[in-house]
Amino acid sequence: MADPVVPAVRVAWRGDTCQDGVRSVPRETPVALTYNRTTHAVMLATPSDLEDFAIGFSRSEGLIETAADILALDIVEVADGIECRMDLAPDRLAALTRRQRRLAGPSGCGLCGLDSLAAAIRPAPAVLRGRAFSAAMIQDAMRAMPAAQVLNATTHAVHAAAFWTPERGLIALREDVGRHNALDKLAGALARAAVRADDGLVLLSSRVSVEMVQKAATLGAAVIVAVSAPTSLAIEVANAAGLTLVGIARDDGFEVFTHLNRITVRTTRHVA
């Protein structure tokens, strides 16, 4: 499989000096997700952890319920990119046929190809469980991310999605040029390891848009923590689903936008 990191010749200006050199950049490749030899989606993604990507995408799209619903999975390099070739169990294939759609997904978009406005803002699955976390736990979890972001340390150009629990620390982290792809890869990694997503924190190195909430809720996550802010629609959908949404998670603190009951903070509350 192609290396996810590519050397790029560049000229750098710093102050009054100019220097030739090479910078490592992330590879961006068309990745087709096919089911029983029919292409369902083509995404632009980083060619790493593609088994996780295929399983996680299938799970977050509602095409499968568990990894066992995929009877066979092969990652195949072809002339124009990479194919994730999957064979589905008969009942899941029938469900796919009933709701077949095609989408072409640029790295910054997770909703291309939807055929209605209603599909774009579909309700997220209700979050029925989820434990409480202290402020210190949230900060510990976010501090654990940078050391595991190997691709970003090299390229400074990819997103990460991770899963953390107080007992085990950082269980899995996946990276991609697309933030949606990184979350799908994480979903696949957790599905393959049979890890319950409602038992820990889903961590994001990006902003939280509505499709990230939808994907996390489908995964079964109860708490999302992101370094950036959520969008208004992400807040609305997370609130309706019962999902705790934490943003602006930095060294000096964080902001909770929905369902504060899962976050235990001992401090004096001031209303601005």
Tens of pLDDT, residue by residue over 95-124, are 787 766 555 566 555 555 454 555 556 678
φ, ψ dihedrals at 128, nearest 5°: -100, -20
pLDDT for residue 129: 81
Give residue-wise pLDDT tens across range 222-257.
Answer: 999 999 999 998 999 999 999 999 999 998 899 999
**Looking at the structure, do residues 115 and 167 belong to the same domain, yes or no?**
no
Average pLDDT, the chain: 88
Q: Is residue 221 situated within a structural domain?
A: yes
Domain termination site, one of 87, 120, 153: 120
Token duo for residue 249: 């998670």
Task: Find the radius of gyration of the CA atoms of the chain.
Answer: 19
**Looking at the structure, do residues 115 and 181 belong to the same domain, yes or no?**
no
Residue 12 CB partners (closer than 8 Å, separation 6+): 18, 19, 20, 21, 23
Q: CB–CB of 27/19 below 8 Å?
A: no
pLDDT for residue 12: 87
Cα–Cα distance for residue pair 210/215, rounded to 1 Å: 9
What is the CATH classification number for the domain harbouring 198?
3.40.140.10
Residue 75 Cα to chain centre, angstroms = 20
pLDDT for residue 269: 58
Q: Is residue 85 situated within a structural domain?
A: yes
Whether residue 178 is predicted with pLDDT greater than 60 in this model: the reply is: yes
**Looking at the structure, do residues 143 and 209 belong to the same domain, yes or no?**
yes
- Other CB atoms within 10 A of residue 190 CB: 26
**Looking at the structure, do residues 173 and 247 belong to the same domain, yes or no?**
yes
Positions marked active-site: 109
**Looking at the structure, do residues 255 and 205 belong to the same domain, yes or no?**
yes
Q: Is residue 163 situated within a structural domain?
A: yes
Whether residue 199 is predicted with pLDDT greater than 60 in this model: the reply is: yes
**Looking at the structure, do residues 71 and 157 belong to the same domain, yes or no?**
no
Cα–Cα distance for residue pair 33/57, rounded to 1 Å: 9
**Looking at the structure, do residues 146 and 83 belong to the same domain, yes or no?**
no
pTM summary value: 0.90
Q: CB–CB of 219/60 below 8 Å?
A: yes
Residue 137 belongs to domain spanning: 133-264
Q: Is residue 18 situated within a structural domain?
A: no
Task: Tokens 């406005």: give the residue.
Answer: 117
Number of domains in the chain: 2
**Looking at the structure, do residues 69 and 188 belong to the same domain, yes or no?**
no
- Other CB atoms within 10 A of residue 168 CB: 11
- Provide the β-strand partners of residue 24: 7
Q: Is residue 42 situated within a structural domain?
A: yes
Domain termination site, one of 120, 152, 178: 120
Closest CA to 203 of 177, 167, 179: 179
Determine whether 10 is exposed, middle or buried from the number of CB atoms within 10 Å of its CB (0-12, 13-18, 19+). exposed
pLDDT for residue 107: 59
Cα–Cα distance for residue pair 254/227, rounded to 1 Å: 8
Cα–Cα distance for residue pair 209/207, rounded to 1 Å: 6
Token duo for residue 167: 């007992």
Whether residue 33 is predicted with pLDDT greater than 70 in this model: the reply is: yes
